[in-house]
Structure 1
Amino acid sequence: MPVAHSGFGTFSNPVELICWDPNSGHVLGVYNDGNLFKWHPFNDKATVVVPADATALKCSPSGLFVVTSDDSGTLKIWTLENLSLVYQLSYASTVNDLAISPDGKRVYDLRGAYCNIWEPNLLIRLAEPDDRGSEMSSTSSGSTHISNVSESISEMHEPVEALAIGRKTSMYCTGHRNGALQIFESSGKMIQYQGSTSLAIDHVAWSDEENYLAVADVETRVCVKRVNETLSPLTTVFEERLGKSVQQLLFNKTETLLLATTEHTINVWTVEETPVLTAKSFANEPYQWINHPFNEALVVAIGPEDIRVLVLVSSEKLTTSAATTRLPGTHVKRILVSGDGSRIFLYLSQAWHNSTQTNRLLLINTADLDVSGLGHAKSITALALPENIQNHIDRPLGFIRPSSVRNGRESSLGDDQLTFLSTNGWLCTFSLDVAGNNASFKRYFFLPQDWLNGESLELAQVTPVGTLFCPKDGEVGLIRNGFRNEWLGGTQSI
C-alpha cells in the first residue's frame, strides 16, 4: 500500500537508483531497501513509497508507467500516477539493465550475455490513445487495483550443453548444465527425461542403430545407457571414470565398442555390463574421430599434424598421412561426411600470435585413405573450397541431397550439397561438384538475430533430409522443409 511522506527533499533512506519523468516532472527512485518512491521537487506535498525490492528502474517515455526488476529476475510495471502494480513477469535470471522502447510497447532487459524483449498486451493497449484512459482509470482508486495484477511466468530452461541426433530416425538427445538428460522423437515430443544430477553433461553420443546412448559429465564419468523400444526408463549398461575431461565419445558401427578420448588418452571399451578395456593408448596431439565410411572395423583420427586410420579394437595404427593438415596451431572443430561416404569435410580453425583466428575448410576423398599398406605413411591431398565460398561460410552444418529433402527421407540419388550458415545469417547450400569460376551457393532462409549466438550455433546441425536442429534458451528449435524452396534470386555466383 502506498505511504505518504511530507517534507521537501527529505528521504528516510539512502537513494540507490533514480530516473526522471519529463512529462510530469516527477523523480522516481529506489531506496537502498528496495522500496520504490515518487517525488516532485516543486510540489512536495506528498512522496509516494511502495515496497518493490527493486534493483533496476526505468521510466516510460510516455509518462504512464515505470518498470522495475528485483533480485529474482521478476519484472514489475507500475502506474506512474500512484505507483499501483499492474503487471509482473517472472523469469528466473538476474537483470543487469532495463530499457523501454520509444513507443512504450516493449521492455528490454539484459540478463548475462542475452537481451530479452518483452511485449505484454498491457503495454500494447496503453500505447493506443483510446485505451489509455480506460486501462489506467482503475488505478486511480489507489491500492485496490493491486488485486487485479496481470502476471506472466516465463520458464527458464537449463542451457543445452550437448546435442546428439540419431542417424536412423533423427531421434535426438540433449544434455544440460544441471545434469538433466532428455530424449525426443524427431517431431520434438519428449519421450525420456532423467532429472538433474547437478553435474553438467559435456557430451552425448548415439550408436548408429540408436540402441545405446553414451553420456559424459564434468566429473569425467562415462556412462553407457540402453534405449528400449518400449520407451521404458533408460537402463545403465556400465559406468567408467577417466580422471580427465572427456573430449569425444564414439560408438563403432556395430555398436559393440565405445571410444572415449581425453586430451592425451584414447580408451576403447566393449559395450557390455562388465566392460573390457580393449585398448588404451596415448596421443600427443588432439584428434577428432569418425568411423571409416566404408570399413566398419576402422576409425579415422584427424588432427593438426596428420590423419590416422586405426583398427578400433586394438588401436593398431594402419596408415598415417603426415602431409594433409600439417598446420601448427590448427584445431579440428567439426568433421562432416557426405551422404555417400566418398568425401570427408574438415572445418578447421587456426590461432595466430596476435590472438586472431582463421577458419579453414578442406575436403578429403575417402578413397585416398588407402589401408592396404599396413603401417606405411602416405601423402593425402586435401582440397580447399574456392576462396570466395570460404569467405561466405560462418560454419558448416551438414550434408543434404535434394532428393532426400523432397521425399523427407534419405536417398542415394543426386549430388551431395554442403549446408552452411553464412556470415550474414542465411542458411545456404553449396554443391561440391561445382568448383572454380562456376562456383555458386544458394540461399534459402535466415535465422532470427537472437538465434545467432555462438553458444547455440556450436551445436547446430542439419540432417540429410534438411531439418535444422539449433539449441536456444535450453531447448532445441527444429526448422523443417527450409531447404525445399530456394529464396528468389538466391543463387550467388562468385
Structure 2
Amino acid sequence: MVSRLKLKPKPGQRAANSHTGTNKVVWHPSGTHVIGIYGQIFKWSPIDDTYDEVKGETGVIPHEIQCSPNGLVFITSDVEGTIKIYDVGRMNVIYKLTSEDTINRICFNPDSLRFYDLRGSYCNVWEPECLLRLADTISERFNGTDSINESLWSDTEGMRSTSISFPISESHADSRPKITAVAAGRNPDQPLAYANSAGIIELFDPTDNSRHTITKTLFGITVEFLAWSRSHDRLAYCLLNGAVVVKTISRTAGQRQISAETLYSEKKPAVERGRVQQLLFDSTGTLLFIYGTKSSQVLKLPDGHATAVLEMPGRESARWKQHPSRPDALIRIDLNVISVFTWQLQKERSIPLDAAPGSKESPIVESLLQSYHPRMLLLRTMTLELNRPRYSFSIVPTTNIYNGEPNEHPVSIKPISLPKTIAEAASYPLGILSDGRMVFLDSSLWVCTAQVADASDTITRHFFLPHDWVTTSGIMLSQLLHDGTILCPCKGEVAIIQNDAVSEW
C-alpha cells in the first residue's frame, strides 16, 4: 500500500462514511491526484497527502464524476439531472446545467472542449462557453509550447497555478419546471390539467386555446397526482406531503375566464393512509377514492367525511378504476388478482390473474394506461433490477371481469399473448384505441400502432418524436385520447400531438 486517505469527521458531525450516496474516484491525468465523491467532492494526492474539497455544496450528492483530458476541470452529474463543471485548481463550480431527465453517464471529448451525457436512449453533446474560453486562455499562456498538457502538469506541486478564474455560468436544458402530473378527459375538446415541480397547476382549454392558472401550492410543494370528475367540474390533486385538495372548476360570466374555488382541503395529511398512489372520482363527482399504501378511503364531498376505509396489506401495489357498467362499483387490479369492490369498499368477488409467470423478481402494476377497447385493459408493470426500474406491459382481457357472475372456483385470467415482433417493438405503450389497436413508441421513438385484438403481427409506423425533445419522465406521463391524440409533457409544457396519420387510425 502506497498511501491511504482517511477522512475525519469535523466537530459536531458524524463520521465521513455515514453518508448515503455514491463512492467514486477518478485519476487526474497528471497521475499525482485523485478526484472523487465520498459524501463530499474531494481532491487528494497520495504522494504528499494534500487534501482539498468543494466548499458550500448543498443538495443531492453526485453519482457520476469524470476529469477532463487536459486536467483543468472535472464534471459531475446527479440523479436530478444537474451537471456541474469544477475548476480543479480552485475546487469551485464554473458551470451548471440543469435539466429534467436522469443522466446515466457523462464524459469529455479528447480535446476537452465538449462533454456528452447519456439519458435513456439518447446522447446530448454540449459545448459550454467556459470550456472554450478556458482552452483559449491556456493556449495563449503556453503559446509556442509543443505540448500544452505536458507543460501544464510538469510541475505537479503548483496545480493551483494552472487554474483559470471564471465566474460561474448557468444553463437550463429545460427552463420551465418539470411536469409532474397530467389529467385529461377522453376527448381533445375537454380541459387538460397539469402540474409542475414548482407547485403550479394550470388548465388548458382547447376550445379557445386559453391557459389558466388554477392554483400555486404553499411553498411550491410538488403536486403528485391529478384527477378530474366525470363532468370535468371538479379537480382533485395530492401534494407531495400527502394532503388532498379538491377544486370546483367553472366558467365565469361571458365564458372567458376559468374560476377555481376550493371545495375541500385537508389541513394536514392523513398519516394512517400512507403515501397516496391514486385519486379517483365516482360517476357523480360526490365521492373521492384515495388509494394509499397503508389504507384507502372514500371521502364524501364537500365535507370530506370518510364513508369507507380499507386497510391495505403489506407491499400493496395495485391500480383502481371505475366499473364501466356499474356506477356503484370499483375494479382493483394487481398482477395476482382482479377484484370487484363496491364504493363502500366491500369486496364482491375476485378472479386470479396470472400476469407474471416465472418472474425472478415480483413486478408491480406501475400504472393503468388508457384503453378505449371494451374488452381489454393495458397495464404498465415495473420491476427493480439492481435498484433500477425496468418497465414492461400486459394486456388483460376483461370479459370475465365485467360480465361474469360470482363463481366459487373462478378460472384464472391470462394476459393476451402478443406476437414476438410486437412485444419486442413496443418500448413505451401509450394506450389502446377503440378498434383494438395499441399505440406505442418503439426504441427509436416512432409512434406506432399494432392490432392486439387478433393474431396479426403487422406494425404501422406513423411519425417519430425527436430524441432531444422527449424525456423518459415525459413518456411515463403521456396519455392517449379517444381519437388518437397524444399528450406528452415536454420541457415544462404538455404537447398536444395531432397528425394526419391520426385520421388513419
Q: Same fold (TM over 0.5)?
A: yes
Q: What's 1:448 paired with?
A: 466
TM-score for both structures, normalised by structure 2: 0.61
Contact 2:287 2:299 in 1 (8 A): yes
Matched, 1:391 2:391: no
More divergent stretch after superposition (111-120 vs 441-450): 111-120
Q: In structure 2, the residue corresponding to 1:258 is in which secondary structure?
A: strand
Q: In structure 2, the residue corresponding to 1:295 is in which secondary structure?
A: coil
Deviation at 1:122, TM superposition (A): 12
Matched, 1:480 2:497: yes
Q: What's 2:442 paired with?
A: 422
Q: What's 2:193 paired with?
A: 172
Deviation at 1:207, TM superposition (A): 1.7
The residue type equivalent to 1:481 in the other structure is: Q
Contact 2:378 2:393 in 1 (8 A): no
Q: What's 1:298 paired with?
A: 329
More divergent stretch after superposition (226-235 vs 202-211): 226-235
Contact 1:322 1:377 in 2 (8 A): no
Q: What's 1:276 paired with?
A: 305
Matched, 1:254 2:314: no
Q: In structure 2, the residue corresponding to 1:158 is in which secondary structure?
A: coil
CA–CA separation in structure 1 for the residues paired with 2:441 and 2:320: 23
Matched, 1:361 2:382: no
Match for residue 476 of structure 2 among 433, 458, 479: 458
CA–CA separation in structure 2 for the residues paired with 1:332 and 1:97: 28
Structure 1 residues 102 and 182: CA distance shift in structure 2, 3 A: farther
TM-score for both structures, normalised by structure 1: 0.62
CA–CA separation in structure 1 for the residues paired with 2:403 and 2:183: 30
Q: What's 1:181 paired with?
A: 200
CA–CA separation in structure 2 for the residues paired with 1:369 and 1:97: 47
CA–CA separation in structure 1 for the residues paired with 2:478 and 2:299: 29
Q: In structure 1, the residue corresponding to 2:276 is in which secondary structure?
A: coil
Structure 1 residues 68 and 228: CA distance shift in structure 2, 3 A: farther
Residue by residue, what CA displacement relative to the aligned partner does 1:89-144 show, whole Å, maximum 9, x if unpaired? 87568x999877689996657899997544689999xxxxxxx9xxxxxxxxxxxx
Q: What's 1:38 paired with?
A: none
Q: In structure 1, the residue corresponding to 2:423 is in which secondary structure?
A: helix
CA–CA separation in structure 2 for the residues paired with 1:98 and 1:354: 20
Q: In structure 1, the residue corresponding to 2:219 is in which secondary structure?
A: coil
Matched, 1:160 2:179: yes
**Bigger CA radius of gyration:** 1
Q: What's 2:49 paired with?
A: none
Deviation at 1:337, TM superposition (A): 4.9
CA–CA separation in structure 2 for the residues paired with 1:220 and 1:245: 6
Deviation at 1:459, TM superposition (A): 1.7
The residue type equivalent to 1:484 in the other structure is: A
Residue by residue, what CA displacement relative to the aligned partner does 1:35-85 show, whole Å, maximum 9, x if unpaired? xxxxxxxxxxxxxxxxxx9xx999999xxxx999999978899xxxxxxxx
CA–CA separation in structure 1 for the residues paired with 2:66 and 2:392: 43
Deviation at 1:260, TM superposition (A): 0.6
CA–CA separation in structure 2 for the residues paired with 1:200 and 1:310: 31
The residue type equivalent to 2:310 in the other structure is: S
CA–CA separation in structure 2 for the residues paired with 1:251 and 1:377: 32
The residue type equivalent to 2:497 in the other structure is: R
Deviation at 1:467, TM superposition (A): 2.9
Q: In structure 2, the residue corresponding to 1:197 is in which secondary structure?
A: helix
Structure 1 residues 422 and 226: CA distance shift in structure 2, 3 A: same
Contact 2:321 2:330 in 1 (8 A): yes
Matched, 1:217 2:239: yes
Deviation at 1:197, TM superposition (A): 2.6
More divergent stretch after superposition (167-176 vs 207-216): 167-176
Structure 1 residues 114 and 478: CA distance shift in structure 2, 3 A: same
Q: In structure 2, the residue corresponding to 1:308 is in which secondary structure?
A: strand
Q: What's 2:262 paired with?
A: 235
The residue type equivalent to 1:275 in the other structure is: G
CA–CA separation in structure 1 for the residues paired with 2:243 and 2:308: 18
Residue by residue, what CA displacement relative to the aligned partner does 1:380-417 show, whole Å, maximum 9, x if unpaired? 5334232412122223112346xxxxxxxxxxxxx242
Q: In structure 1, the residue corresponding to 2:201 is in which secondary structure?
A: strand
Q: In structure 2, the residue corresponding to 1:235 is in which secondary structure?
A: strand
CA–CA separation in structure 2 for the residues paired with 1:96 and 1:344: 32
Structure 1, unaligned stretches of length 5 or more?
1-16, 21-52, 78-87, 125-131, 133-148, 402-414
Q: What's 2:5 paired with?
A: none
CA RMSD of superposed structures (Å):
5.4
Structure 1 residues 480 and 283: CA distance shift in structure 2, 3 A: same
Deviation at 1:325, TM superposition (A): 3.2
Contact 1:344 1:366 in 2 (8 A): no
Match for residue 378 of structure 1 among 410, 419, 428: 410
Contact 1:321 1:379 in 2 (8 A): no
Residue by residue, what CA displacement relative to the aligned partner does 1:315-373 show, whole Å, maximum 9, x if unpaired? 2222x3333236583412232453253432233346799999683422313464236x4
Structure 2, unaligned stretches of length 5 or more?
1-26, 31-55, 57-64, 88-93, 137-166, 252-256
Q: In structure 2, the residue corresponding to 1:321 is in which secondary structure?
A: strand
CA–CA separation in structure 1 for the residues paired with 2:29 and 2:385: 46
CA–CA separation in structure 2 for the residues paired with 1:325 and 1:75: 50
Deviation at 1:277, TM superposition (A): 1.0
CA–CA separation in structure 2 for the residues paired with 1:446 and 1:302: 32
CA–CA separation in structure 1 for the residues paired with 2:295 and 2:112: 58
CA–CA separation in structure 2 for the residues paired with 1:400 and 1:199: 35
Structure 1 residues 391 and 74: CA distance shift in structure 2, 3 A: closer
Structure 1 residues 68 and 366: CA distance shift in structure 2, 3 A: same
CA–CA separation in structure 1 for the residues paired with 2:388 and 2:86: 43
Matched, 1:468 2:497: no
CA–CA separation in structure 2 for the residues paired with 1:429 and 1:276: 44
Contact 1:175 1:204 in 2 (8 A): no
Q: In structure 1, the residue corresponding to 2:235 is in which secondary structure?
A: strand
Contact 2:488 2:497 in 1 (8 A): no
Q: In structure 2, the residue corresponding to 1:448 is in which secondary structure?
A: coil
CA–CA separation in structure 1 for the residues paired with 2:29 and 2:386: 46
Structure 1 residues 422 and 483: CA distance shift in structure 2, 3 A: farther
Structure 1 residues 306 and 377: CA distance shift in structure 2, 3 A: farther
CA–CA separation in structure 1 for the residues paired with 2:202 and 2:436: 29
Q: In structure 2, the residue corresponding to 1:278 is in which secondary structure?
A: strand
Contact 1:317 1:375 in 2 (8 A): no
Q: What's 2:21 paired with?
A: none
The residue type equivalent to 1:245 in the other structure is: R
Contact 1:362 1:382 in 2 (8 A): no
CA–CA separation in structure 2 for the residues paired with 1:97 and 1:327: 31
The residue type equivalent to 2:376 in the other structure is: R
Q: In structure 2, the residue corresponding to 1:465 is in which secondary structure?
A: coil
